[in-house]
Amino acid sequence: MIEAHELWLLIPLLLATGIFAGILAGLLGVGGGIVIVPILFHLFTAFGVDTTLAMPLSVGTSLSTIVLTSMVSARKHYARGGVDMDLVKTWIVPVLLGVMLGSFAPVVINGTHVKTTFGIMLIVVSVHMLASSFWKVELFHKLPPRSVQFLLAAMLGSLSALLGIGGGTLMVPLLTLFAFPIHRAISTASVFGLIISIPATVIYVGNGWHISGLPPLSTGYVNWVAFVLLVPMTMWFAPFGVKLAYRLNVPHLKRTFAIFLCLIGLKMSLF
């Protein structure tokens, strides 16, 4: 277990994680959770937190950071009129139902299995990212019937809450498969990041309330040291990532990052 004096050793590592996540969020449009969760997991386990606790702790902490970052992002996108409110109204109930299911799942699912699931998700996302850097990945010409949308939205909410990735990481690729405009998908996903992260964070706090072996300054499965250090870094460096996006070869960077994600996914799912 992490001792109180060891938290000082985590500070530079967490600051670096926040900077990395923020730049990637602005540069490639990926959610911070896809970077924060695996790094937190390896940091916590390196400092002696048991694997079965490190995964829900990483997920809960990631979701807590998404609350503030998505709040700022959603407000900006809504002000610019980019959010599809009809889709929000259609998907909000099934997404919340999925969040409830996904947030309570770690209570009955071993943390090692959650780690494996996260690894598989990273591999799938990396394959999509790699493919989309070469081709326009579009399988359908419009959104499916409402009943299918309900199932997809519930699955989205469940996986996002289970894996601590907010919503954009899965929602944007999913919507673009149905020829949904990419900028509208990103804007709408920012709202769902907020819809998913608030109840999920509360549930993760409650689920870990009486768990022993958690690091100091943790409330349930949320570590506030990580929260305080990650949030400002991701918010401050995301605009820098946006500026880099206009100067660098983003498709090449996407391919490199996709390979990087795939390797992390293989490690988390197999070892």
Render pLDDT for 152-202 as a digit per residue (tens, 0 to 9).
999 999 989 988 887 778 888 888 889 888 788 888 888 998 899 999 999
Q: What is the CA radius of gyration of the chain?
A: 18
Q: How confident is the model at residue 233 (pLDDT cuts 50, 70, 90)?
A: very high
Q: Residue 147: its pLDDT value, please?
A: 94
DSSP code for 181: -
Stronger pLDDT, 17 or 132, i.e. the higher one: 17
Query: Distance between CA atoms of 165 and 78, rounded to whole angstroms?
Result: 21
Percent of the chain with pLDDT over 70: 93
Do residues 265 and 121 make contact, with C-beta atoms less than 8 angstroms apart? yes
206: containing domain: 4-270
Structure tokens at 179: 């020829």
Beta strand ranges found along the chain (DSSP E): 218-219, 222-223
Domain count, the chain: 1
> How many helices (H) and strands (E) are present in the chain, helices listed first?
10, 2
Query: Distance between CA atoms of 94 and 63, rounded to whole angstroms?
Result: 19
Query: Distance between CA atoms of 112 and 54, rounded to whole angstroms?
Result: 9
Average pLDDT for residues 46-59, to the nearest whole number?
A: 89
**Sign of the CA dihedral running 229, 232, 235, 237:** negative
Q: How confident is the model at residue 14 (pLDDT cuts 50, 70, 90)?
A: very high
Do residues 225 and 217 make contact, with C-beta atoms less than 8 angstroms apart? yes
* pTM, entire model: 0.88
